[in-house]
Structure 1
Amino acid sequence: MKLSLAILSLALSVPASLMAQDSLKVTSGEYPNTFSSGSANVSPFTQQSKRFNDWAVSFGAGVPLVQSADLTSIKNGNGNGKDLVGYSAYVSIDKAITHAFGINLQYDRGETRQGWFNTKDSAPTNASVNQQVGARTQYDAISILGDINFSNLLRRVDNKSPFRWALHGYAGIGTIAYKAYQKDEFGQRLMTEIKPFKLNSFFGQAGAGLKYKINRRLDIEGRVMYIVTTDDQFDGGGAQYSDINKREDQVSDNFFNATLGLSLKLGKHESHLMWHDPLQEIYYKMDVLASKNEDITVCKSGDADNDGVCDDWDRQLDTPAGARVDGAGVALDVDLDGVIDLYDKCVTVPGPVENNGCPTTTAAVTSSGTVTSTDTQLDGIEFDLNSDRILPSNTPILNNAVNYINSSNGSYKVIGATDTRATDEYNQKLSEKRASSVKNYLIKNGVDSSKLSAEGRGEKDLKYPECEPATKCPEWKNRANRRVFFEAK
């Protein structure tokens, strides 16, 4: 076959992809656009940013054996022939796209031998009559092969050791040109000739190879490929409907090609992309991080009230010095009486602010049935924001009020109040609901309804007037403004 095919195969290798490897080169200043990976550390790929060799030249030689045809290489398919061995050679230019995939441009040249005898030997008597002919086929082929590195693709995550063996899978298509000869007692003659790049010259091949890494430059590989010629005349049987080509039903003469070859890795880098394990970098970075001591800055915004809760998530930035706080930085009020524990003389028992958070003593009833201001104002009956539901913590206070009112001769006004959040109209209605809720509770628990009346004052009667608006005060003061108290009529 003409040498031009080999030259052509080399010429076709010139156009190549320049985007085979990820770049580690970084840029600064300009944020990535919509089409970038999203990372600020990106830049166009350049040859200077390459980290691995990704080109190689492979070559090798082997033995082709026609297996699926009318004339075969092993015992001619019926046990009566001879084992006929041909020869083959290949050269390829290999481009690694990733650590697990590459593309090879390959040129093959060889000769298969099949039939009853070797065409170099004399033909038996009446070989043509008995169809005991010998054949050989000289072929040249150019193909493009996809190369999958299964060892890298299926590599275990926990396997940290370097590896020197790699299993590759190949598949591709190409064009094949051949001359098929047949020999009988009348001599040897050309039966079929196929030119390259014709419609009937296309073929496919697939197979596997096992590579061993000799050093950073050289690999050795054993490879077995199965070639599908798509042609029933490749074996030298003659025309499609000749007597020999009627022996088998298949319309494609196929053969195995077992080869042993070397791969020369090109480039200036220490490692080739197809031998690179991306996980090795992760192992290294994890080791670096594990051994690296980095100071962690907490409370970048500081802790203005020095309560141990950073300002970034402190809900009460003016906690008094010495006060215990919860996880949100709010001063603790265990008995929920509106007096924080720092100032509360009776931490576990609710009481009014005027009495330092302690309950008042039992009020003495005067002869006229009136009571003092301290006795008639029962602070600490507080409510959640936007709610008129009586809290369980207020039950003891209300039960004391039931006993006191029943023991007195006077009548009382139940007054509801709110903080300064929301509108005046909304707060007025909410305060009326709170007063009614407490009044109904007292009546339900035994207070004569004729002794009680309810009044809502909205945000007009604040315990802490400075809390207008509510954002000026800590939450515990706003909570103290959301209350119900009593006044003697």
Structure 2
Amino acid sequence: MKLSLAIVALALTVPTVAFAQDSTAVVSNGQYPNTFSSGSANVSPFTNKSKRFNDWAISFGAGVPLVQSADLTSIKSGNGKNLFGYSAYVSIDKAITHAFGLNLQYDRGETRQGWFNTKDSAPSDASAYQRVAARTQYDAISLLGDINFSNLFRRVDNHSPYRWALHGYAGIGTLAYRAYQKDDKGQRLATEIKPFQLGSMFAQAGAGVKFKVNRRIDIEGRVMYAVTGDDEFDGGGDKYSTINQREEQVSDNFFNATLGVSLKLGKHESHLMWHDPLQEIYYKLDVLANKNQDIEVCKKGDLDNDGVCDDWDRQLDTPAGARVDGAGVALDTDLDGVIDLYDKCVTVPGPVENQGCPTTAPTPVGPVDEKETKLDGIEFDLNSDRILPSNTPILNNAVNYINSSNGTYTVVGATDTRASDAYNQKLSERRANNVKDYLIKNGVQSGKLNAVGRGEKDLKYPECDPATKCPEWKNRANRRVYFEAK
């Protein structure tokens, strides 16, 4: 029975250890954190070769089992003496994530319980008073889940590495044992359970504290609690025997305190169970923060001083003062072949010989009435006389219209009712003059325009007096410039 379980455990160990020698495609430079930088390409295939951490280990250890919940126990509590057994284990450990893994574990040991040690002579009245001794030799194979609580519950703001880790274990397996009972009549086999049978299933759970000695070795102290599910494990004999009727529980359970060593396999610098993803993020942020990278802009300079680097300038000889687009090409708004710098009629196409203006004046469409000569909607921001980019299409249309007519026009500036009358009057004048200057710069003859400011005396929405709280859209409509034909 013992030999068969040991052979099964060995057969499972050999291929696992061979597979655990994982890829060396990624090797760190040995600096802390020694596994947080990769030597692989920026984009790696999702294969076993792209692994950055060792994730296999072999653990082994020894300890002391104590039967705690049974009819015959190891802890006497003043009745007799405490009896200590021995145990040993070996396991193959696979880390699935930085906080969870699976362990295939083989346990072997012997518990000692009852009124005296089976190595000692039995009292002469042992059978009369059922003061018997017992020992149980057991072998077990179990699959345990391993939770790394230190990694799972680590604080987000903890930037330091750590060498201690709290682990929790739980799992099920198969338990085989031989229970012996001794009294004054001698020692005999009380119960024998073979492995891999329905009645041999058991469960165990516990916790351990690991200490990282180096990149290869961990030391762990562990306490496990095994639930056998069997009332005969303690050596009390048949479940209906007098000894097994002392206590009501139907499962003989025991503690197993062990001290062990884990040997981490693989050729990487770190094991996955000791890796903290948050630590890696902090490290990379520190590297980026401390990295000095000089970025050289405009290597070839800007020979024409148009504000566009020669590296991507499509017109390297732009005349001084000309407005350019993002590619460094001088603007030609009306596409007549004369750039705006030299075009006297920026928005009206004309030949080069006439400086971009038409050679003949367009025929007026007809009489201009008041409705056609007013252009509403040229609005301004609060306390500002800057022409908004959204208003330039309206003003360009005004250039075309004024140039096509024979009349003269007044550019009227207005404000809302906020601020004083004197301030609003000056602000309205600045708005009107800015619009006038824009029209002249874009081809309108200065003699056709006059600019006046009316402050808050000419409201589009008169109900917005200083005592009335108007919605912002009405105040914005009052902040405007419009045209009147003379």
Q: CA separation in 2, counterparts of 1:65 and 1:174?
A: 19
Q: CA separation in 1, counterparts of 2:323 and 2:217?
A: 64
Q: Quick one: which amino acid aligns to residue 88 of structure 1?
A: S
Instruction: Measure how far apart 1:12 and its partner are.
Output: 3.0
Instruction: Measure how far apart 1:123 and its partner are.
Output: 1.1
Deviations along 1:181-200, whole A, 9 cap, x unmatched?
A: 11111111111100000000
Contact 1:345 1:358 in 2 (8 A): no
Q: Give unpaired runs (5+ residues) of structure 2.
A: 27-41, 299-307, 316-320, 335-339, 342-384, 396-411, 415-427, 440-445, 463-479
Deviations along 1:154-177, whole A, 9 cap, x unmatched?
A: 122222222111111111110000
Deviations along 1:446-487, whole A, 9 cap, x unmatched?
A: xxxxxxxxxxxxxxxxxxxxxxxxxxxxxxxxx99xx89789
Name the SS of the counterpart of 1:210 in structure 2: strand
- Equivalent residue, structure 2, for 1:72: 73
TM-score (norm 2): 0.61
Q: Quick one: which amino acid aligns to residue 137 of structure 1?
A: T
Contact 2:387 2:435 in 1 (8 A): no
Q: Give unpaired runs (5+ residues) of structure 1.
A: 26-39, 347-352, 362-391, 400-478
Match of 1:356 among 432, 441, 449: 449
Q: Does the C-alpha gap of structure 1 residues 50 and 240 become closer, same or farther in structure 2, counting only changes over 3 Å?
A: same
Instruction: Measure how far apart 1:11 and its partner are.
Output: 2.2
Match of 2:45 among 43, 46, 49: 43
Instruction: Measure how far apart 1:222 and its partner are.
Output: 0.5
Q: For residues 309-320 of structure 1, what are the structure 2 equivalents within 5 Å? A: none
Q: CA separation in 2, counterparts of 1:235 and 1:308?
A: 98
Q: Quick one: which amino acid aligns to residue 335 of structure 1?
A: G
Q: Does the C-alpha gap of structure 1 residues 177 and 332 become closer, same or farther in structure 2, counting only changes over 3 Å?
A: same
- Equivalent residue, structure 2, for 1:60: 61
Match of 1:335 among 413, 430, 447: 413
- Equivalent residue, structure 2, for 1:460: none
Q: CA separation in 1, counterparts of 2:118 and 2:391?
A: 98
- Equivalent residue, structure 2, for 1:458: none
Q: CA separation in 2, counterparts of 1:193 and 1:360?
A: 111
Q: Quick one: which amino acid aligns to residue 68 of structure 1?
A: S
- Equivalent residue, structure 2, for 1:165: 164
Q: Percent same amino acid among aligned pairs?
A: 63
Q: CA separation in 1, counterparts of 2:195 and 2:153?
A: 38
Instruction: Measure how far apart 1:3 and its partner are.
Output: 2.0
- Equivalent residue, structure 2, for 1:28: none
1:4 aligns with 2:82: no
Instruction: Measure how far apart 1:213 and its partner are.
Output: 1.1
Instruction: Measure how far apart 1:5 and its partner are.
Output: 0.9
Instruction: Measure how far apart 1:216 and its partner are.
Output: 1.2
Moved more, 51-60 or 325-334: 325-334
- Equivalent residue, structure 2, for 1:463: none
Q: CA separation in 1, counterparts of 2:171 and 2:43?
A: 37
- Equivalent residue, structure 2, for 1:249: 248
Q: CA separation in 1, counterparts of 2:323 and 2:386?
A: 10
Q: Does the C-alpha gap of structure 1 residues 46 and 397 become closer, same or farther in structure 2, counting only changes over 3 Å?
A: closer
Deviations along 1:141-166, whole A, 9 cap, x unmatched?
A: 00011111111111222222221111
Q: Does the C-alpha gap of structure 1 residues 360 and 80 become closer, same or farther in structure 2, counting only changes over 3 Å?
A: closer
Q: Does the C-alpha gap of structure 1 residues 255 and 345 become closer, same or farther in structure 2, counting only changes over 3 Å?
A: closer
Q: Does the C-alpha gap of structure 1 residues 232 and 343 become closer, same or farther in structure 2, counting only changes over 3 Å?
A: same
Q: How many residues align?
A: 351
TM-score (norm 1): 0.61
RMSD: 4.6
Name the SS of the counterpart of 2:211 in structure 1: strand
Instruction: Measure how far apart 1:284 and its partner are.
Output: 2.2
- Equivalent residue, structure 1, for 2:458: 395
Contact 1:23 1:45 in 2 (8 A): no
Q: Does the C-alpha gap of structure 1 residues 360 and 339 become closer, same or farther in structure 2, counting only changes over 3 Å?
A: closer
Q: CA separation in 2, counterparts of 1:43 and 1:92?
A: 31
Q: CA separation in 1, counterparts of 2:3 and 2:290?
A: 60
- Equivalent residue, structure 2, for 1:263: 262
Q: Quick one: which amino acid aligns to residue 74 of structure 1?
A: I
Q: Does the C-alpha gap of structure 1 residues 395 and 266 become closer, same or farther in structure 2, counting only changes over 3 Å?
A: same
- Equivalent residue, structure 2, for 1:439: none
Name the SS of the counterpart of 2:413 in structure 1: coil
Instruction: Measure how far apart 1:280 and its partner are.
Output: 2.6
Contact 1:22 1:45 in 2 (8 A): no
